[in-house]
Amino acid sequence: MTDLPAALLARLERLEIELPSWGFADTGTRFGKFLQDAAALSLEDKLDDAAEVHRVTGACPKLAVHVLWDVPEGGARALSEAAAARGLRIGSINPNVFEDQQYRFGSVVNEDPAIRRRAIDHLLDSVRLGAAVESDVLTLWFADGTNYPGQGDVIERKHRMQSALREVHDAMPASMRMLVEYKPFEPAFYHTDIADWGMAAAFARHAGSNARVLVDTGHHLPGQNIEHVVAFLADEGLLGGFHFNDFHYADDDLTSGSIDPYRLFRILLAIVEAEARRGGDLGLEFMVDQSHNLKPKIEAMIQTVTTVQELFAKALLVDLDALADARRRCNVVDAENRLRDAFATDVRDGLAAWRQARGLPGDPLTAHRDGGYAARASEDRRGRKPASGGSYA
Ligand code: PSV
Ligand code: MN
């Protein structure tokens, strides 16, 4: 399909996809890391890589940062200036209350009030950092949880979480939104304090009117109907945004749409339907949270962005009137086929033409490969690495 509808393209034009700083660095599994010569080491490298993805896609003007991993010595000002120098902005601020040794038994729900205080202070510092870099999104993920039955008083911990989130929410400027992320397990293996979307929704309600839920697509137990969760949260006014990735088993952090593109299509359709019902955009944060251990990082990010665009375009192609009609008639086959028809439509030529009309390369991945960026980055970064990961650029 070469001619995509103008309204569809206008919606795609408003689809900004935020890239994660940590997705450009060397990452691995608990069994180790395979280093890549071209993987980013510094904040500047990560911004350069994000700028390269933005150069070829035109869709990624923001970089999400993790406070402990990314904030330079010069603080907020240095952070914003480094982003602006590359035509980017700092996106969501991700506090880190999960790595320090003191957090072995939790952060804001720790038994020790002094540790709880330090964790909350870090969150408050992150609010200030966000305000200083003009980021209006505070993304909260907690590793807090327990490994064994009996280890913690889950309700006491719930109350601690509630009061911490409320305190942080109250310190946010009016323009800032708090996104509360959930995850059923890992690193805790018996219970996690914010285990699912329902708990995240309850915590967001307790925190205040600027708190919403963040749906990381990999953070569900097997079989969860994620599009139902998305539709439900949107209707409650509690859907804040996404961490996109794909999975086969659990939180695998694979490239979006690589395992089950029909699932991501259905999730995006839930957004399209909610926006149609509302008569306008939901104002969501579309963020990527992936860990590319085997693929070259920038190529995987470009694949992600183009896949999300393709699947969003397909979701926008669903004939919602015909779908409503089939539902009214209780014609299950016709209803399902409205989804299958749209999903089966090949939108790649249409998107290439759309990109070219906007002065972008029709094929972002080829443009990146032809530009020689990866070879230059490998050359520059190889010498700064402890050991080379081999031939991958
Ligand atoms: C946790 O698994 C998570 O999804 C959170 O969003 C973190 O910020 C991110 O991964 C990186 O550790
Ligand atoms: Mn996440």
Task: Return the residue whose CA atom lies nearest to atom 1 of ligand 1.
Answer: 141
Q: What is the mean pLDDT of residues 337-360?
A: 98
**Position 359 pLDDT exceeds 70:** yes
Nearest to 87 by CA among 62, 57, 56: 62
**Position 392 pLDDT exceeds 70:** no
DSSP 319-372: -HHHHHHHHHTT-HHHHHHHHHHHHHS--HHHHHHHHHHTTS-SSHHHHHHHHT
Q: Which pLDDT does position 391 carry in this prediction?
A: 47
Task: From residue 34, give the alpha-carbon distance in Å to each of 14, 37, 389.
Answer: 36, 10, 6
Q: How far is the CA of 141 from the centre of ligand 1 (A)?
A: 7
Q: How far is the CA of 19 from the centre of ligand 2 (A)?
A: 12
Nearest to 11 by CA among 356, 308, 359: 308
The pair phi, psi for residue 127, each rounded to 5°, is: -60, -45
Give the pLDDT confidence of 96-150 residue by residue, as tens digits. Answer: 999 999 999 999 999 999 999 999 999 999 999 999 999 999 999 999 999 999 9
Q: How far is the CA of 325 from the centre of ligand 2 (A)?
A: 37
Residue 174: pLDDT band with limits 50, 70, 90: very high
Residue 46: pLDDT band with limits 50, 70, 90: very high
Task: From residue 224, give the alpha-carbon distance in Å to each of 27, 112, 162, 197, 242.
Answer: 27, 35, 26, 11, 16
Q: Which pLDDT does position 386 carry in this prediction?
A: 74
Instruction: Give the chain's mean pLDDT.
Output: 96
Residue 387: pLDDT band with limits 50, 70, 90: low
**Position 314 pLDDT exceeds 50:** yes
Burial of 140: CB neighbours in 10 Å, binned 0-12, 13-18, 19+? buried
How many other CB atoms sit within 10 Å of the CB of residue 214? 29
Burial of 119: CB neighbours in 10 Å, binned 0-12, 13-18, 19+? buried
Residue 113, preceding peptide bond in cis (omega within 30° of 0):
no
**Position 388 pLDDT exceeds 70:** no
Mutate to test the pocket of ligand 1, among 26, 103, 181 (most ligand atoms within 8 A of CB): 181
Q: How far is the CA of 181 from the centre of ligand 2 (A)?
A: 7
3-state DSSP call for residue 261?
helix
**Position 393 pLDDT exceeds 70:** no
Please tell me if the CB atom of residue 70 comes closer than 6 angstroms to any atom of ligand 1. no
DSSP 170-205: HHS-TT-EEEEE--SSSS-SSEETT-SHHHHHHHHH
Domain boundary assignment for the chain? 15-318
How many other CB atoms sit within 10 Å of the CB of residue 377? 24
Q: Which pLDDT does position 385 carry in this prediction?
A: 83
**Position 389 pLDDT exceeds 90:** no
How many other CB atoms sit within 10 Å of the CB of residue 132? 15
d(CA 384, CA 279): 51
Q: What is the mean pLDDT of residues 354-362?
A: 98
d(CA 132, CA 262): 40
What CATH number should be reported for the domain whose range is 15-318?
Answer: 3.20.20.150
Q: Where are the beta strands (DSSP E) in the chain?
A: 17-20, 28-29, 32-33, 62-66, 89-94, 137-140, 145-146, 177-181, 191-192, 211-216, 239-244, 285-288
Q: Which pLDDT does position 30 carry in this prediction?
A: 87
Asked if residues 23 and 301 have their Cβ atoms less than 8 Å apart, the reply is yes
Q: What is the mean pLDDT of residues 162-168?
A: 99
